[in-house]
Structure 1
Amino acid sequence: MSDASPLVLVVEDEPDLADLYATWLSTEYRVRTAYGGHEALDALDDDVAVVLLDRRMPDLSGDEVLNAVRERGIDCRVAMVTAVEPDFDIISMGFDDYLVKPVTKDALRETVSTLCTRNTYDTGVQELFALASKKALLESEKGNAELAESEEYIELSDRIAVLREELDETIGSVDDHDRFVGFYQDIERDEKDEDEDD
């Protein structure tokens, strides 16, 4: 592990669980742990690439920490790692991915790896993946009738469609072959996951 490894901030009010996540990640990443919301804000700086954030914490909720991260303008990806089942309120939240506990080692490591890759993309692509993740999550948790009745979900689907059109234009202008292949593989993987959910 080199000093250039991405830095992951694990925010979890159960110390044993936070330490377990840190152990799972420490072979590939630099890891900081924070055992509460206020501690997370103290540990947060521009070096952090990915935040793994619990939603329910007694001192300061994960939602409040997430808002503070975005208000500070820190350019990092955030995954909520929580026992809170997702509802339509997640659409307006500024996270990039959402994992429902219990979480496996492989799922956690894959999520961090994916989010580190997303850090290399521009803002529009990052937004597309974050919104697509929310859409897939809601589709896995809600019935078709409930989705069809949700204005938030319909607006989310429309926003994804617009971003995909913009992304098609971006891909058309990418000169670097490796970057083009990376864009395309991620988009195909995202579309395949959505097809499997249908």
Structure 2
Amino acid sequence: MGSGLHVDEPRVLMVDDEKQVADAYALRLEDVADVTVAYGGEEGLSVVEEGRPPDVVLLDRHMPGLSGDEVLAELRDRELTTRVIMVTAIDPDLGVVEMPFDDYLSKPVDRADLHAAIDQQCQVLAYELLGEYFRLESTRAVLAADTAATADTDDRLAAIEADLETAERRVRDLLPEADTLLSTFDGIDREGY
């Protein structure tokens, strides 16, 4: 495992328009995380569109073009399963109460605090994904047991199974004890026989 992190190599996206600052934070994470750096809001959103969502986004608030606040709103509108930590020199005020971030760190942030915040958010994300996995697996079991299945049911079942596979992969990536938790859930008889 990474230095003090429960997760091996969480996927982290660092979004900051100041290249030196973004690169410095990325260096603080290079031994413990798979870090992608974006030098602005538009670039950060492009990175998110390209593939699997990052586990954690480290997001500066004050950037030209799309501000961190706007990027945060867009990330939440897309309903991504990711955690967002604002890492900014802007002191928090009452306006942050309405912002849907998961943590707020004031720059400068030292290595230990950065690692701890990412680790905490990865653990929260893992349990959110585990809850989603359990919900999907229960729905899949009900649909699979339906003897009056239709083509619509089969299509819905295929979509649920794809979502299940994604959730399971991410849970296994984020939780060292995933095998135990997943096998306990699988051991419950849901068909009433």
- In structure 1, what is the equivalent of residue 89 of structure 2? 83
Alignment length (residue pairs): 126
What is the rounded CA distance, in whole Å, between the counterparts of 2:36 and 2:58 in structure 1? 10
Map 1:1-198 onto structure 2 (within 5 A).
5-45=9-49, 46-122=52-128
What is the rounded CA distance, in whole Å, between the counterparts of 1:105 and 1:12 in structure 2? 17
1:84-108 CA-to-partner distances (Å, cap 9, x unmatched) read 1111111111100000111111111
SS of equivalent to 1:99: strand
What is the rounded CA distance, in whole Å, between the counterparts of 1:25 and 1:119 in structure 2? 19
What is the rounded CA distance, in whole Å, between the counterparts of 1:59 and 1:29 in structure 2? 28
What is the rounded CA distance, in whole Å, between the counterparts of 1:61 and 1:14 in structure 2? 13
Q: Return the offset for 1:9.
A: 0.1
- In structure 2, what is the equivalent of residue 153 of structure 1? none
- In structure 2, what is the equivalent of residue 196 of structure 1? none
What is the rounded CA distance, in whole Å, between the counterparts of 2:83 and 2:31 in structure 1? 20
SS of equivalent to 1:10: strand
Structure 2 alignment gaps of length 5 or more: 3-7, 132-177, 182-193
What is the rounded CA distance, in whole Å, between the counterparts of 1:11 and 1:122 in structure 2? 24
1:134-169 CA-to-partner distances (Å, cap 9, x unmatched) read xxxxxxxxxxxxxxxxxxxxxxxxxxxxxxxxxxxx
1:12-53 CA-to-partner distances (Å, cap 9, x unmatched) read 111111111111111111010000010000011433100000
1:45-77 CA-to-partner distances (Å, cap 9, x unmatched) read 433100000000011100000001011111100
Question: What TM-score comes out, normalization by structure 1 length?
Answer: 0.59
Task: Return the letter of the residue paired with 1:73.
Answer: E
Q: Is the 8 A contact 2:26 2:35 kept in 1?
A: yes
SS of equivalent to 2:105: strand
What is the rounded CA distance, in whole Å, between the counterparts of 2:89 and 2:104 in structure 1? 10
Task: Return the letter of the residue paired with 1:22.
Answer: A
Task: Return the letter of the residue paired with 1:72.
Answer: R
Task: Return the letter of the residue paired with 1:99.
Answer: L
Identity over aligned pairs, percent? 44
What is the rounded CA distance, in whole Å, between the counterparts of 1:5 and 1:102 in structure 2? 23
Structure number with higher helix proportion? 1
Question: What TM-score comes out, normalization by structure 2 length?
Answer: 0.60
What is the rounded CA distance, in whole Å, between the counterparts of 2:58 and 2:47 in structure 1? 13
Q: Which has the higher contact order (CA 8 A, sep 6+)?
A: 2
